[in-house]
Chain A
Amino acid sequence: MILPIGPIHPGLKEPLRLKLKTRGEKVLSAEIDYGYVHRGIERVMKNKTWQKGIFLSERVCGICSYIHTQTFAETFEKIAGERAPLRAQYLRVLTNELDRIQSHLLANSTYFKVLEHETLFMYMLSLREPVMDAIELLTGNRVNMGWNVVGGVRMDAEEKHLQSIMKIMNELEEQYDKYVEMFEHGPLLGLRSHDVGRMSRDDAIKARAVGPIGRASGLKHDLREFHHTYRDNFDFKVIWRKEGDNFARTMNRFDEITQSISLIKQVINNLPEGKVRKKIDIPAGYGDWRNEAPRGEVSYMIETNGNLIRNVSIRTPSIMNIDACAKYMLHDVATVADAVATYASVDPCIACTERVVILDESGKNREFQGIHDINIK
């Protein structure tokens, strides 16, 4: 029997259709339909200046909105062959890690909510609020921050702001271990999480799983290792696990939060003086850049004529992770409840995924002006 879930469903926060093929309570396989939130963002971004494009790129996804602007800005900086001032780079790391913490806490809270563990759900959200405060204090907005520009960041952080962020981080670190222990040793949560939705390393490679989902399955790959700011200035180690089940994915996120806190402390302790923004003249050209978003790898490919964006292509991690989930994790799952929990543990972000790539097998080049032009047989 086919059990459809979504697009509006108590278990899902975002519109998406899960089609579970079931026999009795057992889930045999799953199929996922997207396309509910396709807005045509890449098409809108064409023929706009970067000043407008950066605010559009921010709205590709609301949860990891920060990393989209950073990647957008760094792509332009790469085209120009320059880098932002060092202080701006440090501040970018700071915001990136704060964004990662709030995103991971939200992802884990959603997982606990799906497991109907309301207590941990509430604790995760209450931990998240101070982090949102820190983001708001630093950037001036909670979700879509509008903080990155090509050549640096828009607002400088004063000493008192940094100190209050430090305070928030210390408090978070103190409380945080308690809740991690609740998850790690909690018997009921353990029963629902261990050995559920397992994906092996080979499958993860086949599915191109990225981010915490890939790392929980043993793919030791984190783009922050290769990013120039992290590589040159920070003490950073890739966090990964071998189990590849729901427990590993959730724990991997918890561990990454610990690491993010330590990175934020490094930033605040070693923040160099100097400018936070410089003017960058952008020549015509093509550039691409990859960054580690909370959910994995996000890459931008931009072609510009020096003033306007001629072409842009965005690749976000969720599309690979959701497909990995559908193909390799939701395969012979014991119950439907476990299937939904597995889906939540992948931390899907639907708003990220919705872009259209059309491959024509005949090899001809054709131009489409929107999703309505396409006739798919």
Chain B
Amino acid sequence: MSSVIWYLYEFARKSWAENFAAAKTDSEIMETPSRFRDFPQVRKEYCIACGACTAACPAPMAIKLVRSEDSAHEEGITYPIINTRGCIRCGFCAEVCPTDPKTLLCGENHLIREEFTILPVDKMFVIDDYLCIKCKKCMKSCKVGDAISEIDNKMVIDQSKCISCGECLKTCPVKGAIKGIFISNVEEQKEIINMVVNTLEARIESEKDKIKKLEPEEIFKIDFPIDELVEKSREIIKNDELIKDTLEKITDRLKMNIITWDDEKCKNCRLCVKECPSGAITYDEEKGVQRNPKKCLKCSICYQTCPFGVAGFYVARFLLSETSMDDGVIHITLKAAQLPIRS
């Protein structure tokens, strides 16, 4: 009974009738309160392009550093832009922003103190223990107190203290002993690597006819200018340092197997069809033995199996001689593999 009375009481109020007649939300309600943490505000002029905000941001596509066009009078400035479709309004970018006054403002009353600031790390430095000669030059050059230390007769970089300035890399006398690894943009790096490898392969493919005529001990050389590769990589990611680093690493380590195929020599014995592990070689009544280069794993089994020398197997190596990003050249050397032919 009491609830029925309550209903009647509520409906009988004057304010209820008034609200019923005019549907309107109070403008007061639509206002955001003062302590609400809205999307960060960017003050471009203070930005030092350190990248702390992008490194600290927990959302993957919320914040990006961009650089405005150079004008006649002055250089373009770099500043962060906030993508409101990705920003989660946590205010962490404002918290880590090291400039004074702050480039990024988000909410009020943040406890911003030096010791909580995390520094930009899009590059991780590690010491290769195998190559390190323990000259301790990196230790002396390190700008942070004790980021590099000697533990158990090994040089170790403390990742929590490292600020990724790259000083150690510059002073290191051994090539490859200290490695700077880009830990962000992994996807883009993959794309660049795929693109470079495919382009190099296509270039070698185009010289097929010359390669087939190679003598066993003869070396075939191609020079490949990298400007085209750099242009394509810049379309993937606009970071010259990263592109150069990736190109260097690829050409240092890449060893490419090349399989050539001489249809005229083929006697349709079909020995290779059974051996091929990926099913790239097929036999057709009309067309004879066919090889599908797209499926090929370059394992060289067909080369080792074929008694007539249809398949040729060559190994290509690469060396990057770089003067600058635009007129560097990749030297490709190619020679016949020394693999014995299975009898």
Stretch in contact with the other chain, from B104-112, B138-146, B237-245, B264-272: B104-112
A156 neighbours in B (Cβ, 8 Å): 109, 111
Max count, chain B CB within 10 A of own CB: residue among A140, A154, A281:
A140
Interface size class of B (residues with CB under 8 A): 20 to 34
Which residue from A136, A158, A187, A188 sits with its C-beta under 8 Å from B36?
A136
Cβ distance B180 to chain A, nearest Cβ, rounded Å: 17
Whole-angstrom CA separation of A279 from B88 in the bound complex:
24
Within 8 A of B (CB), among A213-252: none
Determine whether A8 belongs to the interface, using a CB cutoff of 8 Å to chain B.
Answer: no
Q: Which of B2, B10, B33 contacts A133 (CB 8 A)?
A: B33
B110 touches A51 (CB 8 A): no
Q: Is B20 an interface residue (CB 8 A)?
A: no
Query: Which residue of the partner chain B has the closest CB to A47?
Result: B183
Q: 1/0 contact trace for A191-225 toward B, CB 8 Å? A: 00000000000000000000000000000000000
- Residues of chain A contacted by B58 (CB below 8 angstroms): 51-52, 55-56
Of the residues A56, A154, A186, contact of B110 by C-beta under 8 Å: A154
Is A155 part of the binding interface, using a Cβ–Cβ cutoff of 8 Å? yes
Q: How many positions in chain A have a CB within 8 Å of any CB in the partner chain? A: 32
B residues near A185, Cβ cutoff 8 Å: 2-3
With A119-B7, A141-B37, A155-B111 known to touch, is A51 a contact of B89 (CB < 8 Å)?
A: no
Chain A residues within 8 Å of B35, by CB: 136-137, 140, 161
Q: Which residue of B has the minimal Cβ distance to A56? A: B58
Query: Which of B6, B59, B91, B159 contacts A140 (CB under 8 A)?
Result: B91
Q: Are A307 and B95 in contact (CB under 8 A)?
A: no
Q: Are B91 and A186 in contact (CB under 8 A)?
A: no
B3, A187: Cβ atoms under 8 Å?
A: yes
Asked whether A146 is an interface residue with its Cβ less than 8 Å from the other chain, the reply is yes
10 contacts between A and B (CB under 8 A): A52-B58, A119-B10, A137-B33, A140-B35, A140-B107, A146-B37, A155-B109, A182-B6, A277-B116, A281-B160
Binding site for A on B (CB under 8 A): 1-3, 6-7, 10, 33, 35-37, 56, 58-59, 88-92, 95, 107-111, 115-116, 118, 159-160
Q: Which 7 A-B pairs have the closest CB atoms?
A: A140-B37, A55-B58, A146-B90, A52-B58, A186-B3, A279-B115, A140-B107
Known: A144-B90, A146-B89, A276-B111. 19 other contacts (CB 8 A): A49-B118, A51-B56, A51-B58, A52-B58, A55-B59, A56-B58, A119-B7, A136-B36, A137-B33, A140-B107, A141-B36, A141-B37, A146-B88, A149-B116, A154-B110, A181-B2, A182-B3, A186-B3, A277-B116
